[in-house]
Structures are given as C-alpha cells and as structure tokens.
C-alpha cells in the first residue's frame, strides 16, 4: 500500500552505512584546527582508535603530562568470574596530591635544631613548604630575618609581629623596626621518618 510511494529517487531507508559504524563508533564533527596542532590531534585520535579496536576503556593523557596514572581497565573477559571489585574502582592514593596544593610553589626543607619541638618538628625532619600560601597569624612559616632563614610560628597582633619558638628554651623573636622580615613560605606538613 504505502510502500509504493517511494519508487523514484529520494532516500531509501536502510541504505548506506549504518549509524555509528565508522572508526570512532559515534557521531563525528568537522572542525578547524591550527596547523601547528594537527600532528598532536592526529596522534591522540590514533591512540583513541587503537584503544577502541582493543575494546578497552579509553583515557586520553594530558599533553606533556609527566605521568599518567591509568585506572585498571574494566574487565571484559568473558571467561571466569568478574571481579566483585570492578564496580568499586577508585583512584589510587597519591601522597603528593594529598600533601601538595601548589606543585610549582612547593619546596622541601630539612629542619635543623629543636626550637619547634612543641609543634612536632624534630631535628632532621622534612618540612613541606608552600610559597603560594598567605602567611596568616598562627601559621608556621619559613622566615628570613636579615638574610638568615628560620622556622617559627608567626604571630601578628595590633601591628606587632613576633616569631614564636615552640620550645621554652628558645626566646621569641620580636621584629623590631628597621630589621627586614621576609616570609619565604608557609609550612604545611612535617615528615618525620622513624625508619
């Protein structure tokens, strides 16, 4: 009955390539790319294609990433039991991520002396110092007084700046007018190794 209406020309249903049967298995788009980036985009696509073929989950690494932690591929193995942990796959624990907020501004420093024992800083500990953080009152800081380094707790009160030691055997340092104080960085953690 109605089948006869399309005898001359026009689209024939079911003809042509199947939807999503191309190399990317999904819709594609035409796009302009700066020629300097063509190679980079091409290589990313090649990687993507090869992974699609291998039927693994695709993770495109950031360009120039120093390291890429790949999650374990979701298993598609037919034989055997599926891992019961598969649905609970999470990131690995990365101490760097946990302890370092501003990578480019973070420096490690070795502690000398016991003036900060009360704050849990022992001789030989490694301090993680972030230069990007603001030196608020109460924070432990690396300070430079007249060209010399020191680690102390910073106190600001009514315009008076004091660097406090956390050990009764050490005196606080009152910043007098005329002496130069530079806050080099803020201590965010201390690494105390037992072994």
Partner 1 sequence: MAKFALVDCNNFYASCERVFEPKLEHKAIVVLSNNDGCIIARSNEAKAFGIKMGEPYFKVKELLNDKSIVVKSSNYPLYGDMSSRVMKIISQYSPVQEVYSIDESFIDLSGFSMNLNSYMQTLKQQVKTWTGIPVCVGLGSTKLRAKLANHIAKIYPRFDGVFDIDKLSEHRFEKLLHSLEVKELWGIGKKSADRLNRVNINTALDFYQADIGIIETLLGVNGKRLYRELYGHSCLQIEQISPPRRQIVSSRSFGSELSDYQDVNQALSTLARQAVIKMKRQSLATTSVSVFIQTNPFSRYSSCISLSKTIGMSVPVSDESILIPLVSKTLEKMYESGYQFYKGGVMLSNLTPDKSQQDLFTQESKTSKFYSQHPYGNLIQYASELGNNKWRSKADFISDRYTTNWNELLSI
Cα Rg of the chain (Å, integer): 31
User: Binding to partner 1 by residue 182, rule CB under 8 A?
Assistant: yes
Window of 44-52, 84-92, 97-105, 157-165 that interacts with partner 1 by CB under 8 A: 97-105
First and final CA of the chain: distance in angstroms? 87
Query: How far is Cα 72 from Cα 52, in angstroms, rounded to an integer?
Result: 16
Of 21, 42, 115, 179, which residue is the catalytic one?
115
User: Binding to partner 1 by residue 119, rule CB under 8 A?
Assistant: no
Q: Where are the alpha helices (DSSP H) in the chain?
A: 38-54, 95-99
Q: Which is nearer to partner 1, 44 or 150 (CB)?
A: 150
The only residue of 149, 156, 172, 192 in contact with partner 1, by rule CB under 8 A: 149
Q: Which is nearer to partner 1, 23 or 102 (CB)?
A: 102
In the residue annotation, 176 being an active-site residue is answered as no
In the residue annotation, 179 being an active-site residue is answered as no
User: Binding to partner 1 by residue 156, rule CB under 8 A?
Assistant: no
User: Binding to partner 1 by residue 147, rule CB under 8 A?
Assistant: yes
User: Binding to partner 1 by residue 109, rule CB under 8 A?
Assistant: yes
Query: In degrees rounded to 5, what are phi and psi of residue 20?
Result: 60, 25
Window of 81-89, 101-109, 153-161, 163-171 that interacts with partner 1 by CB under 8 A: 101-109
How many other CB atoms are found less than 10 A from the CB of residue 111? 19
Identify whether the C-beta of residue 155 lies closer than 8 Å to the C-beta of residue 141: no
User: Binding to partner 1 by residue 135, rule CB under 8 A?
Assistant: no
Structure tokens at 110: 């070795």
Query: In degrees rounded to 5, what are phi and psi of residue 149?
Result: -80, 145
Query: How far is Cα 6 from Cα 2, in angstroms, rounded to an integer?
Result: 8
**Catalytic residue positions, numbered:** 115, 152
Residues interacting with partner 1, by CB under 8 A?
A: 36-37, 39-40, 102-105, 107-112, 126-127, 131-132, 142, 144, 147-151, 182, 184
């Amino acid at each position: 009955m109605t089948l006869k209406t399309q005898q001359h020309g026009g689209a024939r249903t079911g003809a042509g390539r199947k939807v999503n049967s191309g190399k990317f298995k999904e819709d594609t788009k035409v796009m302009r790319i700066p020629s300097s980036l063509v190679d980079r985009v091409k290589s990313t696509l090649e990687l993507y294609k090869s992974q699609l073929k291998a039927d693994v989950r695709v993770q495109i690494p950031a360009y120039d990433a120093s390291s890429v932690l790949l999650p374990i591929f979701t298993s598609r193995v037919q034989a055997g039991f599926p891992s019961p942990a598969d649905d609970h796959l999470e990131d690995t624990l990365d101490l760097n991520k946990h302890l370092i907020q501003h990578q480019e501004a973070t420096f490690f420093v070795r502690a000398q002396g016991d003036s900060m024992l009360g704050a849990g800083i022992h001789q030989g500990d490694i301090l993680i110092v972030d230069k990007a953080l603001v030196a608020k009152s109460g924070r432990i800081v690396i300070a430079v007084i007249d060209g010399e380094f020191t680690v102390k707790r910073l106190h600001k009160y009514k315009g008076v700046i004091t660097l406090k030691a956390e050990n009764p055997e050490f005196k606080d340092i009152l910043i007098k007018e005329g002496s130069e104080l530079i806050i080099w960085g803020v201590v965010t953690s201390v690494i105390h190794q037992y072994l």
